[in-house]
Amino acid sequence: MRANGNSHFDQNDQDLAQRHRLVLAPKDFLISPFFAAKPHFGARQVTVGSRHYHIGGSHPLDKTQHPPALDVRHARAIFALLSFRADPLDKTQLIRFSFNQFCRQYANSNGGRYAGAIKKILRDLTNSFIRITDTKTGIAHSYRLIERVDIEERPIRRKDAKLAQSPQLEMWFNSCTLSPEFAGLLGDIDELQHLRFDVLNSIRSPIAQAIYLYIPSRAYYYNEHKPFEINLTHVMEQISIPIPVHKSKRKELFTKHADEGRSILQQLDGVETLSGVFHVRLADTADEKDFKLQAWVDKRSRPKSMFENSKLVAIWKSGGRTIEELHNRLARVEPLNDCEMEWLENALVRVAGNEGFFRLAKAMLPQGQFEGLLAEAKCEEQEGRAAKKNQTARLIWRIKSAIKAMVSSGQGLDNGRK
């Protein structure tokens, strides 16, 4: 498969990666072991609150078909698809992108040896059904995640290519269409949660990926001295991998060097989440019959660049505000959404290199005031109002002034954004 040449897709790959490192996905995908660690050909079942999921294994219209359950390969494909949505909260079913872009999102590759495997993964997503049963009413509903994939077959363009002498055709990937049910779910903000997709893709072990997808949400309220705990046997059951009989072998699975010379624990310990840094370690269970995975999120361990020499933080503290309050706000605030990014781009404001500043500003200011400043900057540029220095400096000055006025007046001392 090859990327088509539509100018709609001719974008800077680095900019694309920066914009799409965060993905807004169904919350149930990220608070439960929804995805198996490895290929799983039978059905998998997961319960989240009052929803019981039956994933794969059967087809509602053809009992002879047994599509596979979803594993972390499918998870990465779903998140890669969702990263291309123009508006994260739009219920539009159609998502446009090239296969080249999709491969870069999914595997940091433009296809090649991954093309065949990715085609199979997309085929699984169009064939595999998820049945959701309401445990209170007993009513079940089945749907697929992807309704269809738009692929064209065309003659080989390069006449000097050996394939041009054969009947083989090039495959051009144009878009995919989400199912109405899945698209509707993605339009409900209460059912969504952000994921650091770039971090997920940086983890090589499928087992570590499966753990990263749901354990951090459980470990969020814990710390190093009182960590979240779960037996290794239970972890393996949840992510559907074979469980070694001996305790020592279960430990070895997590501690031996495997992918790129790093163990599963090493791949997970110290990775970033939206709210801090995820940490893991092993400890004996009370009866010493198993090991338990201990996990917590260090909400104070953030990239130093966000606070180091930050004039915004200095303004914040000058009004008697605490760093603890700022940490709490940052843990709750969402990253810049596509609408805010569009305002900044239309205002010709440089985002690259200023991500930390805008994230801090969004956490500090009331939501409406932050959005108002961005919208005002966009309007000024569209109306041709020249800035003394440049558009970026003008907006940064206004944000600093707004925060200085807020802290000096004592506004917003409720430990939260309104």
Angle (deg, nearest 10), helices 338-346 and 367-382: 30
Residue 85 or 232, more confident: 232
Element of type H or E holding 236? helix 232-238
Cross-strand partners of 281: 294
Q: How many CB atoms are closer than 10 A to CB 101?
A: 21
SS3 label, residue 330: helix
pLDDT tens digits for 21-55? 788 899 999 999 999 999 988 899 999 999 999 99
- What pLDDT shows up at residue 330? 76
Q: Which one, of 402, 385, 395, 21, lies nearest residue 196 by Cα?
A: 21
CA distance 185 to 144: 12
pLDDT, average across residues 95-112: 74
CA distance 37 to 254: 13
Q: How far is CA 216 from CA 137, 277, 279, in A?
A: 31, 9, 9
- What pLDDT shows up at residue 338? 67
- What pLDDT shows up at residue 305? 44
- What pLDDT shows up at residue 110? 55
- What pLDDT shows up at residue 3? 35
Tell whether the model's pLDDT for residue 391 goes beyond 80.
yes
* Dihedral sign (CA 23, 25, 29, 30): positive
Backbone angles phi, psi at 380, to 5 degrees: -60, -40
Q: Taking a C-beta distance cutoff of 8 angstroms, is the pair 293, 282 a contact?
A: yes
pLDDT, average across residues 253-275: 84
CA distance 308 to 331: 18
- What pLDDT shows up at residue 91? 72
What is the DSSP annotation of 70-121? PBHHHHHHHHHHHTT-SSTT----EEE--HHHHHHHHHSS-SGGGHHHHHHH
Q: Which amino acid is at 53?
A: Y
- What pLDDT shows up at residue 412? 59
Average pLDDT for the chain: 82
Share of the chain above pLDDT 90, in %: 39
- What pLDDT shows up at residue 170? 57
Share of the chain above pLDDT 70, in %: 81
CA distance 206 to 295: 18
Cross-strand partners of 36: 71
Residues across the chain: 418
Locus of tokens 């770039």: 198
Q: Taking a C-beta distance cutoff of 8 angstroms, is the pair 105, 20 a contact?
A: yes
158: Cβ–Cβ under 8 A, 6 or more apart, which residues?
164
pLDDT, average across residues 296-301: 82
CA distance 168 to 153: 9
Q: How many CB atoms are closer than 10 A to CB 158?
A: 9
pLDDT tens digits for 366-385? 888 999 999 999 998 888 88
Q: Which one, of 387, 367, 364, lies nearest residue 377 by Cα?
A: 387
Tell whether the model's pLDDT for residue 104 goes beyond 90.
no
Lowest-confidence segment of 13-27, 189-203, 242-256 by average pLDDT: 13-27
Q: Taking a C-beta distance cutoff of 8 angstroms, is the pair 110, 104 a contact?
A: yes
Lowest-confidence segment of 17-21, 205-209, 271-275 by average pLDDT: 17-21
- What pLDDT shows up at residue 310? 72
Q: Which one, of 343, 394, 34, 64, lies nearest residue 212 by Cα?
A: 34
pLDDT, average across residues 6-30: 59
pLDDT tens digits for 187-231? 887 888 889 998 898 898 999 999 999 999 999 999 999 999 999
pLDDT, average across residues 248-267: 85
